[in-house]
């Protein structure tokens, strides 16, 4: 007779469980970054409760996982290992976030121009090569959500976009 099911588990995990538990600090964006973005949209003297910051932190992290998961599935189907900005935009459109796609395409285009400005151009054999794609591993655009509309929904990204216009070598 075997012991209770718990006795068959090593380290508290059922046998064959290959998933590693993800630490909270690895799942969520830093609360200080969340608070800074939230404060940027509020009057200077406004206060934000800790539970509000934590709720937004969870929502933003879940949203990022949702979009990234869809983009990752697309890349797996296409046998690619790197998720790029276009994959994320495709995922957002597929998941019903269409009104955010056009402003983000503009932002991604400006971001790519700025990144290309930092790197010397590679000489290609043909003039038909597309510009290099900025992978997700590089700094992605930050987006803040606002139910009022796509352009109003991105004050941080638009500020960064304006900053890129003034400093094209960033």
Please give the Cα distance from 77 to 164 (Å, whole number): 34
| Residue 59 near residue 51 (C-beta atoms within 8 A) | no
For the stretch 78-96, pLDDT in tens is: 999 999 999 999 999 999 9
For the stretch 110-119, pLDDT in tens is: 999 999 987 6
| Residue 46 near residue 39 (C-beta atoms within 8 A) | yes
What 3-state DSSP class applies to 84? strand
The ranges assigned to domains in the chain are 22-118+135-166
| Helix pair angle (50-77, 31-40), 10° resolution | 110
Please give the Cα distance from 48 to 35 (Å, whole number): 8
Please give the DSSP secondary-structure letter assigned to residue 125: S
For the stretch 155-169, pLDDT in tens is: 444 444 444 444 443
Please report, to the nearest 10 degrees, the dihedral formed by the alpha carbons of residues 129, 68, 56, 98 taken in order.
60
For the stretch 28-69, pLDDT in tens is: 899 999 999 999 999 999 999 999 999 999 999 999 999 999
Q: Is the dihedral of CA 58, 148, 90, 107 positive or negative?
A: negative
Class of CATH domain 22-118+135-166: mainly alpha
Other Cβ atoms within 10 Å of 157 Cβ, number:
22
């Amino acid at each position: 007779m075997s012991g209770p099911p718990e006795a068959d588990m090593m380290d508290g995990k059922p046998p064959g469980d290959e998933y590693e538990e993800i630490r909270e600090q690895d799942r969520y964006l830093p609360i200080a970054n969340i608070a800074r973005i939230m404060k940027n949209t509020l009057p200077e003297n406004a206060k934000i409760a800790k539970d509000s910051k934590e709720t937004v932190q969870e929502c933003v992290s879940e949203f990022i996982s949702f979009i990234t998961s869809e983009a990752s599935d697309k890349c797996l189907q296409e046998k690619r290992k790197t998720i790029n900005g276009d994959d994320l935009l495709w995922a957002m459109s597929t998941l019903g976030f269409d009104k955010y796609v056009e402003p983000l395409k503009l932002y991604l285009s400006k971001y790519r121009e700025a990144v290309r400005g930092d790197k010397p151009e590679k000489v290609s054999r043909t003039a038909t090569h597309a510009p290099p794609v900025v992978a997700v591993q590089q700094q992605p655009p930050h987006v803040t959500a606002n139910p009022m509309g796509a352009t109003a929904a991105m004050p941080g990204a638009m500020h960064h976009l304006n900053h890129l216009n003034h400093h094209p070598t960033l």
